[in-house]
Each structure stands twice: as C-alpha cells, then as structure tokens.
Amino acid sequence: MKRFLIPILTAVLSASALAQPAAPPPPDTVSVTGTGHISVTPDRFSFNASVQTIAPTVEEAVNENNTKVAAVIAALKTAGAKAEEIQTSNFSIYPQQDYSQQQQGKLPRVVGYQVSNSIIVTKKQVADAGRLLQAAIAAGVNQSSGLSFSVSDSTRGRDEGLRAAFADARAKASLLAQAAGRTLGPAMTITELGAQSPQPPRPMGVRAMAAVVAEPVPVESGTEELSFTVSVVFGLR
C-alpha cells in the first residue's frame, strides 16, 4: 500500500494548485514626464571686486593693497552693505619676473611683487547693485567680475511650477491614450524629478580703472526661468 501514497499525494497537490485563482494581470498604464516653466524675478545679487597692487618688495605691495582694500570695504559699508554681506574670497602674492635674459642662460630676475585681494559682495536688495559696484570702483577697485543675480528662496514658484508640470504630463498622456484608442484613467504614481534653473553664462573679467564715477553702474536683473519636472504613471481604461 505504501507505494500508492506518493502518486496520490502528487495528484492532491496538483488539484490544489489548479484550484487557486490566477494572479490578475498588471493594469494597463502609460508613463510620461511633464515639465512646467515659470519666470521669477531675482531678489539677490553678488559680484567680485579685487584690488591689485605692484611694488618692488612684498611688504610695500601688501601695505599698499591693505590700505586700498580697507578703503573699498569702508566705501561699501557707507553705501549700504553690511559686514555680513562682504566676504574675502582670495588673497594672493605673485612675484613679477623679468625673462629678458633667459636666452642667455640666466635665471628670471624678480623685479617686484603683485598682491591681489578679492572680496565678494552679496546682497538681497537688487536695486543696490549698481550703486555698490560704483562705490567699490570709486574707492580703488581695479578688477571686477562675476556680477550675477539669483533667487534667494528656492521654493518660490514651486507650487505653480509643479501644477504646470503635472498639467503637461496629463496632456501628453491623454494624447497617447487617444492615439491608442483608450481612455485616460487616474494618476497612479507621481514622482517629482526636481527643479532646474539655467546655468548663467560664465562671467567675463572686467578691469575697472579707479576713478570717481558720477552715476551708479547701470545693471538690469531681468528674470530667471525655473523648470519643474514630474514623472506620472496613469491608468488606461
């Protein structure tokens, strides 16, 4: 009798497996991405201002540079910049060398030293950009670069941008569903892919002669375009 147990048990298990309902097929879906673009007005600016001095000795070059930079910082504060809005970004000393006798087998000769001290000014009042830049130039800045504008609050326009991105995704999905002869169902999953802003062009260095400027440097902040992207999976009917 024992030899009949295995076939009978196998038959019972097979019948049990056939009795279980099959797993339902995955619902028909369409996956799309949508992008929303909005324009916001920058409310923050920054620029780099440098003072370069050259003198026969390191001590003379540093002392002259220190005096001029102190005057620039004082002028910026007088023009409305706070201490926390002014930051030293670079300080360097380079020897000035004469290579005229290098072809005769002689080593370059040090004829002086160049000292450079750079500061970054960052402020939220965009309207003050031209006035502060003019004040820095008038006080002794002889090299300036990197004037840029930005949005201080990264959440500005986020709600509007995400709504626009979802509307774009729904429009795409509706078009695809119609092309396939189907009806668009509800959104099943929504994933935010983040916000992006266009990279500003690389700033070009601008040398400015230390001179009193009658009027503030004319600057325009324009607008900044932000892009929001979402990935949405819609059901199909």
**Band of the pLDDT at 130, cuts 50, 70, 90?**
very high
Please state which CATH class domain 43-152+207-214 belongs to: alpha beta
pLDDT for 66 equals: 97
pLDDT for 133 equals: 94
Stated pTM of the model: 0.67
pLDDT in tens, 147-184: 999 988 878 889 999 999 999 999 999 999 999 999 99
Q: In whole angstroms, what is the distance from residue 113 CA to residue 122 CA?
A: 30
Tell me which of 232 and 216 has the higher pLDDT: 232
Q: In whole angstroms, what is the distance from residue 118 CA to residue 95 CA?
A: 18
**Band of the pLDDT at 220, cuts 50, 70, 90?**
confident
pLDDT in tens, 6-20: 444 444 444 444 445
User: Which of 30-39, 100-109, 111-120 comes out lowest in average pLDDT?
Assistant: 100-109
Tell me which of 58 and 107 has the higher pLDDT: 58
pLDDT for 221 equals: 85
pLDDT for 225 equals: 87
**Band of the pLDDT at 213, cuts 50, 70, 90?**
very low
% of residues, the chain, pLDDT over 70: 80
Which residues, 6+ apart, have CB-to-CB distance to 116 below 8 Å?
Answer: 50, 51, 52, 65, 90, 91, 92, 93, 94, 143
pLDDT for 198 equals: 53
